[in-house]
Chains A and B, each alone.
Chain A
């Protein structure tokens, strides 16, 4: 502690340079934090997919529908614990740019299969009583300012109503939260019976089925059994784990995520190299001062500790500042205004960020610290004169 003024004094020597170096480290870790949130946005669904859930879709493509009669046939297959039908509704709210997922579902089956959707009991009961009732995830509710009791209208280019219009009215009956920060709370779910009775096309057809299996270890076997059940029919199925299903979905935008990651990683590493070089330069400039300290009795190790301490203070001030800034920015919401299903900075990445800060301190501080430690006193005093 008594050496702290000595450590801080070096920062006062070139205030502008110190501030700029700390700022560049701050920006690097701001980028790091933001990058972590973007990575999560692209992969969270995949990593949090239920191990006990299968998705059954048309063998040709997701755009092809499946008969609703498959629901009972799937339910009868041994090992299947529950099944729910879902269909992509494709509605937008007020503006075509306001896209978010909406699916007609069987409310009770959905809530049984997705225990990570936390819906208040009253909202659940109200949903069962309200034919045009819909529940919406917290993120989308906040995005549009919706609350229970609100009546909203979505327009969909896919589903025409029997009255010939495409404007669908819903009543928000509840807002659900996620059990974990990674739970996707952007979807809206509404009742399948309302959807079925109102649409004038493809009645009796649904987009896909979500199947809950009793024993996750037998998931692959049950998936094969489901596909066998519908083999040689007019609508053959492709059953895969929810993880594989989301992975193929995510891979459509995955390349963008990869490009963003690569670019930001390059920025991060470049900034770190610049910051490291600046710190090394700052230590080299003070060769004479290290000589003085050694002359008055500081040991080689103490000088090593001082230089490392200096590097640590600088990287900690910039790095922790950057992480805090990233956390604050990410907490304010995703940059797309709600298109990303999840957008948060995981605690694991924060801890990892602190690890990177320590590594940066070591990488940028060790070479000059080693150099300062090895300086011969007389030589250092001569060079510093």
Chain B
């Protein structure tokens, strides 16, 4: 495993304001994730897992502290720079797949490539490759509502990897799937990590899923802990 951290969070806090009330979601958090690691983030609801994933993925900014991901200090980037950075470095896999219902599988997978300078033929080749990796080339022309949950999530994974990002961020990728489909997705993530060297950060509630990761980071009340209190 490489020692160069792709994610380095130093003293990161995240607070939200609801009227006069301040909600502390993450508190003075330090975290490093090396390139090529497969990390599971676990914790009870409201512990800050998704918020942490959003900060790593540049979907949100820390209230305090420094977030350095793929060599960039995210808290210093403008919205526009952050969007461009996400397009180059991050692939997201969502719990509810979040495919565009009116687009076919291949059109959904193609979406991140619309932000690149690739021509149509190049985009089509990349889409084919991504769909081949997740085993869905034969279903490429189907719309999301014509696919099973497991297939939709595989399309989601293909969309996440099609632009060859450094980091895959998965927010409960098996949370909406049955055990068999969930296992297939986990196997796919493992393969992406092992065969293609993708760094993966996966939020999960499921110990069975976290067992596939190299390391599990536990969050409790906005802080990293060694284990979740009973």
Are the C-beta atoms of A12 and B102 separated by less than 8 Å? yes
Whole-angstrom distance between the alpha carbons of A331 and B90 in the complex? 58
Whole-angstrom distance between the alpha carbons of A299 and B114 in the complex? 12
Are the C-beta atoms of A295 and B92 separated by less than 8 Å? yes
Other-chain residue from A296, A299, A376, A385 in contact with B111 (beta carbon distance below 8 A)? A296
Are the C-beta atoms of B107 and A297 separated by less than 8 Å? no
Q: Type the 1/0 row for B30-71, where 1 means its CB is closer than 8 Å to any CB of A.
A: 000000000000000000000100100101100000000000
Q: Which of B186-225 contact A (CB under 8 A)?
A: none
Are the C-beta atoms of A293 and B59 separated by less than 8 Å? no
Number of A-B contacts (CB under 8 A): 75
Are the C-beta atoms of B107 and A5 separated by less than 8 Å? yes
Q: Which residues of B contact A262 (CB under 8 A)?
A: none
B140 at the interface (CB under 8 A from A): no
A286 to chain B: closest residue by CB: B100
Are the C-beta atoms of A296 and B86 separated by less than 8 Å? yes
Whole-angstrom distance between the alpha carbons of A3 and B59 in the complex? 23
Are the C-beta atoms of B102 and A9 separated by less than 8 Å? yes
Q: Type the 1/0 row for A274-299, where 1 means its CB is closer than 8 Å to any CB of B.
A: 00000000000000110111111111
A2 at the interface (CB under 8 A from B): yes
B80 at the interface (CB under 8 A from A): yes
Distance (whole angstroms) from the CB of B143 to the closest CB of chain A: 9
A377 at the interface (CB under 8 A from B): yes
Are the C-beta atoms of A9 and B103 separated by less than 8 Å? yes
A198 at the interface (CB under 8 A from B): no
Q: Which residues of B contact A291 (CB under 8 A)?
A: 98
Q: Type the 1/0 row for B150-168, where 1 means its CB is closer than 8 Å to any CB of A.
A: 0000000001000000000
Interface centre among A6, A294, A299, A385 (most CB of B within 10 A): A299
B177 at the interface (CB under 8 A from A): no
Whole-angstrom distance between the alpha carbons of A90 and B133 in the complex? 86
Are the C-beta atoms of B114 and A6 separated by less than 8 Å? yes
Known: A9-B103, A10-B102, A289-B100. A295 touches B57 (CB 8 A): yes
Known: A377-B59, A378-B60. A297 touches B98 (CB 8 A): no
Distance (whole angstroms) from the CB of B187 to the closest CB of chain A: 24
Whole-angstrom distance between the alpha carbons of A299 and B98 in the complex? 18
Q: Which residues of B contact A2 (CB under 8 A)?
A: 114, 120, 123
Q: Which residues of A contact B123 (CB under 8 A)?
A: 2
Whole-angstrom distance between the alpha carbons of A259 and B90 in the complex? 61
Q: Type the 1/0 row for B95-135, where 1 means its CB is closer than 8 Å to any CB of A.
A: 11010111100010001101100001001000000000000
Distance (whole angstroms) from the CB of A283 to the closest CB of chain B: 14
Distance (whole angstroms) from the CB of A375 to the closest CB of chain B: 11
Known: A297-B83, A297-B84. A13 touches B111 (CB 8 A): no
Whole-angstrom distance between the alpha carbons of A6 and B115 in the complex? 13
Whole-angstrom distance between the alpha carbons of A376 and B94 in the complex? 17
B88 at the interface (CB under 8 A from A): yes
Are the C-beta atoms of A296 and B159 separated by less than 8 Å? yes
A381 at the interface (CB under 8 A from B): yes
Whole-angstrom distance between the alpha carbons of A13 and B95 in the complex? 22
Distance (whole angstroms) from the CB of B73 to the closest CB of chain A: 18
B169 to chain A: closest residue by CB: A295
Interface centre among A302, A377, A384 (most CB of B within 10 A): A377
B115 to chain A: closest residue by CB: A297
Q: Type the 1/0 row for A327-358, where 1 means its CB is closer than 8 Å to any CB of B.
A: 00000000000000000000000000000000
Whole-angstrom distance between the alpha carbons of A298 and B87 in the complex? 8
Whole-angstrom distance between the alpha carbons of A289 and B80 in the complex? 18
Interface centre among B80, B83, B87 (most CB of A within 10 A): B83
Are the C-beta atoms of A297 and B80 separated by less than 8 Å? no
Interface centre among B92, B102, B111, B159 (most CB of A within 10 A): B102
Q: Which residues of B contact A381 (CB under 8 A)?
A: 59, 94, 98
Are the C-beta atoms of A292 and B100 separated by less than 8 Å? yes
Distance (whole angstroms) from the CB of B102 to the closest CB of chain A: 4
18 contacts between A and B (CB under 8 A): A3-B114, A6-B103, A6-B111, A6-B114, A9-B100, A11-B102, A292-B100, A295-B86, A295-B92, A296-B86, A296-B91, A296-B112, A296-B115, A297-B87, A300-B79, A302-B115, A378-B59, A385-B95
Given contacts A9-B107, A297-B112, A378-B59, 9 further A-B contacts (CB under 8 A): A5-B103, A289-B100, A293-B111, A295-B59, A296-B159, A297-B84, A297-B88, A300-B80, A376-B60
The 5 closest A-B pairs by CB, nearest first: A297-B87, A9-B102, A299-B83, A12-B102, A377-B59
